[in-house]
Structure 1
């Protein structure tokens, strides 16, 4: 039992007074959650990982219960600070003995705390049942003075972080794939994390993903979850076999998987370079090799880089002598939890780990776009940070608004 539980219970007790049902309901839910936690610990299968049904129920329940309790606790804690100050002041000023040290808790504060907590509670419920498939198409127009003339108006669709092992609704996935195709972009670029842990997760979804269509090609890279590093493998050979199957899965879908290499994209006699590196992340395995990926390219060429983890941009990419005009990343998911009011305000806890966590960033004329992800991981929902399909139109020009 935590301090948060004690404070949340105080609000319930203040409102229900002597009505036993309120206490039974509160502690019944809390005890049920602890039982669920024990079951997860006993039955956790690291080979299944976050897509295990019991684990998804646990994560959903944890967020659904803990966040509202935390919000309930804040005003009650502030009230207790005031009550202590009032109590101390009363003892100093008054010479009378007896009576309570602190004034009693006010019902209004408990009502306000519960009303505030109801907002995220409803939002989290929506995120679990609706939000995780609430696909949003985000369109941006980017201007580059060195863009070859033939590519003026060229369109890219980026998706990232599919995490197919978490999917549970074929109809919604088919809708998302159809929405990607409706954008009619020249290229489709996937920036890593096709699976949570193992290649087999993608088997039920290969057919629908193979319907992705772009006239100038579909390209992909690997993310940190694609290497099977979060699974206990019976042998090194089994892990290697899983990687080979994942490579074949990319090919079966129709993706040209770039593993520290580049491709020439030609149009009307002009060309750009599409560069793809394996995962390179600060605090994660660093399989990516930008030098290797840029072999046979020149500084004069226009480069688009696919790199799963946005930390690669600040640590390596923006310092490289060959200019990556546009880098496409994912990885953060926007933590699947936050607040975004377009053009006004946006916040997610993930910003404290990744300063560049969602959307468009610029540094000395080099642009980074961080996709919020197509799928979801661990917490089986999205609250305020919706699954994203990014459409970028490249234009020849001087300024990005």
Structure 2
């Protein structure tokens, strides 16, 4: 992660200290105290440089990365925010010919707010879980499936749970099972970057039960896409992840579909491979292969990890009435119900509709980084209603 753009992290660390030193420290502090003020940033720079030599997206021991990001949030980010507000304050002073820089005061006030967000999100928010109840109504739904209960979860990222944090995952699995669902669906990103992430948690994941079983698709992290190795090794790792999911008793759908029956009626559950932008995220979805055995008259519930595929491939195809996705994590951050990701105009959380087609994007369960503020981890219970 750090190795992909180390200069951005270095700039975040160094520029605020350069600003503070030139505008305040050098005028008011002796050399010794100025050096002391620089020590935290110097240590963060050394930490950053160490992480740039990590071949994988995150270290094999992710705690090394988590500590780094925590320190970044507690030291570098508050300084950067103070600098931004101070600069804005200076601009106002020059524009209106004022002497007092109120940006400095705002900068000081925002520091404890940032500390609260970082500490709460890391040590409290990530451990919270909510059950989100939703209803989906469709004219195309067969009457026999009226009241059919789906439990959706996504983005478990089980590699982020240490042995002492396994209770968080266990709580989620218990909550899912307590819903007594007709079907459980998982929308991808079970691991962080490699199948070894799953080993300590297999017994917990194996406990998922539903009348019609557990169905899943792969997410971008499930393809070993972020390992620093050759393509052959990535393929072998992905193959092992697929094997482990099937060992759990889950039905993993890879550009394929199955029929679920109730008496003489049925619906189709389809699973398309992760279909991202093909640059940062794997683009492997084949909508025609996924739905090759379906007709326009059947009700199709599509699992697709990346919600961007909904407009790119699923809507133009027109055969899937309901699509369930994850991937965005709702940015793992929202404040007073507002998420910065809403500014992108992309589908990132909740319901979206286009004609007779609907998409639901879950905020997900966990995260590659164990942090959540506002965007609480969730499991989603969707009850189908025939119109």
What band does the TM-score fall into relative to the shorter chain? 0.7 to 0.9
The answer to whether the aligner puts 1:358 opposite 2:354 as a matched pair is no
Structure-1 separation of matches of 2:33 and 2:343: 37
Match of 2:339 in 1: 347
Q: In structure 1, which of residues 60, 63, 66 is the aligned counterpart of residue 70 of structure 2? A: 60
Which is worse superposed, 28-37 or 209-218?
Answer: 28-37
C-alpha contact (below 8 Å) 1:155/1:391 kept by paired residues: yes
- 1:28 counterpart = 2:24: no
Counting only pairs closer than 5 Å after superposition, residues 200-219 of structure 1 correspond to structure 2 as 200-219=196-215
Query: What is the alpha-carbon distance in structure 2 between the residues aligned to residue 239 and residue 74 of structure 1?
Result: 42
Matches of 1:9 and 1:389, distance apart in 2: 48
Cα deviation code 1:68-127 (max 9, x no counterpart): 23332333122201222355xxxxxxxxxxxxxx83x55x65333211231122011111
Residues 1:12 and 1:376: Cα distance change in structure 2 (over 3 Å): farther
Instruction: Identify which of 192, 197, 212 aligns with 1:196.
Output: 192
Gaps of 5+ in 1: 88-101
CA drift of 1:38 comes to 2.1
Say whether the 8 Å CA contact 2:14–2:41 is kept in structure 1. no
State the secondary structure of the residue aligned to 1:74: helix
Counterparts of 2:149 and 2:65, CA distance in 1? 39
Determine which structure has more spread, i.e. the larger CA radius of gyration. Answer: 1
Alignment partner, residue 391 of structure 1: 381
Is 1:113 the counterpart of 2:107 in the alignment?
A: yes
Q: TM-score, normalised by structure 1?
A: 0.84
1:125 and 2:119 are equivalent in the alignment: yes
Corresponding position: 1:300 with 2:294: no
Check if 1:268 corresponds to 2:278. no
After TM superposition, list the pairs within 5 Å mapping 1:270-289 onto structure 2. Answer: 270-283=265-278, 284-289=281-286
Q: Do 1:145 and 1:396's aligned partners in 2 also have CA atoms closer than 8 Å?
A: yes
Deviation at 1:192, TM superposition (A): 0.8
1:25 CA drift (Å) = 6.5
Contact 1:193-1:226 within 8 A present in 2 as well: yes
Check 1:32–1:232 CA distance in 2 against 1; reply closer, same or farther (3 A cut).
closer
Task: Describe the SS at the equivalent of 2:237.
Answer: helix
Mapped partners of 1:361, 1:383: distance in 2? 23
Structure 1 vs Structure 2 CA RMSD: 2.7
8 A Cα contact 1:46 1:232, kept in partner = yes
Query: 2:281 aligned with 1:256, yes or no?
Result: no
Distance 1:357 1:130 in 2: 23
Residues 146 and 47 of structure 1: CA distance in aligned 2, closer, same or farther (over 3 Å): closer
- Is 1:225 matched with 2:221? yes
SS of the residue 2:321 aligns to: strand
Distance in 2 between residues matched to 1:357 and 1:223, nearest whole Å: 15
Equivalenced residues, count: 371
CA offsets 1:139-165 (integer angstroms, 9 cap, x no match): 111111221111111111111111122
Cα distance in 1 for residues equivalent to 2:335 and 2:18:
28
Superposition TM-score, scaled by structure 2 size = 0.87
Structure-1 separation of matches of 2:266 and 2:217: 21
Which consecutive unaligned segments of at least 5 residues does structure 2 have? 1-12
Distance 1:84 1:321, change over 3 A: closer
Specify whether residues 242 and 289 from structure 1 end up closer, same or farther in structure 2 by C-alpha distance, changes over 3 A only: same
CA distance in 2, matches of 1:114, 1:56: 26
The answer on 1:240 being equivalent to 2:252 is no
Which of the residues 50, 64, 71 maps onto 1:39? 50
- 131, 140, 146: which one pairs with 2:134? 140
Residues 224-282 of structure 1, C-alpha deviations (whole Å, 9 max, x = no match): 1111122133671x333322221221112221000111111112331100000111112
* Separation in 2, partners of 1:12, 1:138: 49
Q: Which residue of 2 aligns with 1:318?
A: 315
Quick one: distance in 1 between partners of 2:364 and 2:60?
A: 16
Q: Distance in 2 between matches of 1:170 and 1:364?
A: 42
Do the aligned residues in 2 keep the contact of 1:334 with 1:372 (CA within 8 Å)? yes
The whole-number CA distance in structure 2 between the counterparts of 1:50 and 1:359 is 33
Q: How far apart, in 2, do the equivalents of 1:244 and 1:86 lie?
A: 64
Matches of 1:171 and 1:70 in 2, distance apart? 36
Aligned position for 1:99: none
